[in-house]
Amino acid sequence: MEFNEKQISIINTAERLFSINGFDGTSVRDIAHEAGINVAMISYYFGSKEKLMEAVFEQKTSKMRLKVENMLQEEKLTNHEKVNILIEDYVDRFLSQPQFHKVMLLEQLSDKPGGIAGMIDELKKRNLALIKKLIQEGQKSGEFKKNIDIALMMATMVGTVSQMIISRRFYREVNNMEHLPEEEFTNYIRKKLCAHLKNLFKSTLTNEEKK
């Protein structure tokens, strides 16, 4: 789905307010006021607040799905290299889109069936299907182990990155890194997370014997 400039502006405003107040705590009127438009324009472009939330998800995840789909067709990369690229991409997206991931986290914590939580579940299922295809290719080639719990593996990645971001102030303190500028500290976290997850996934996925 392609969005025009005005739609993207509304989507970005909605994302920010959803991350602060949650979906239920944000009204269409709040979004319209913050975006400097009338309520009718949101109805015209999206139809409802639920459809606007769906557009937020679509705008943030469509590029990732396309990237994975294209990478699955790349014959020059091993399946393990593809997994490493996915790890780097996920960490980058999380660090660059903290508001979107906060929205995702808030809505999942509500644990309510259907609605926005159901929409997130469907999004996760689509992403998981792509990852599953990649893992199965690695299993066919003998590169990856059999009987891998892919959902648990992905939950491990999501949980690790989420917890690091949530506790970044604590991590700064215990590692005596308060003096680092924010950008430098973020780059440091990125490298640490990527290296940790790559090692973890290598142990989980590959048939290589431990030395």
Say yes or no to pLDDT of 192 above 90. Answer: yes
Instruction: Give the pLDDT score at 114.
Output: 65
Say yes or no to pLDDT of 211 above 60. Answer: no
* Average of per-residue pLDDT across 61-81: 82
Instruction: Give the pLDDT score at 102.
Output: 74
Q: What residue ranges do the domains of the chain occupy? A: 59-205
* Average of per-residue pLDDT across 165-184: 90
Say yes or no to pLDDT of 210 above 50. Answer: no
For residues 138 and 97, the model is more confident at 138
Say yes or no to pLDDT of 191 above 60. Answer: yes
Of the segments 63-72, 114-123, 185-194, which one has the largest average pLDDT value? 185-194
State pLDDT tens for residues 102-134.
777 777 776 666 667 777 788 788 888 888 999
Instruction: Give the pLDDT score at 181.
Output: 93
| Rounded alpha-carbon distances, angstroms, from residue 167 to 44, 73, 109, 195 | 40, 37, 18, 18
Contact, 52 vs 10, CB < 8 A? yes
State pLDDT tens for residues 27-48.
999 999 999 999 999 999 999 9
Instruction: Give the pLDDT score at 90.
Output: 86
pTM over 0.75: yes
Taking CB atoms within 8 Å and a gap of at least 24, the contacts of 87-90 are 87/157, 87/194, 87/197, 87/198, 87/201, 88/194, 89/64, 90/157, 90/161
The Cα–Cα gap between 166 and 175 comes to 16
Q: Which CATH number fits domain 59-205: 3.30.43, 1.10.3470, 1.10.357, 2.60.40?
A: 1.10.357
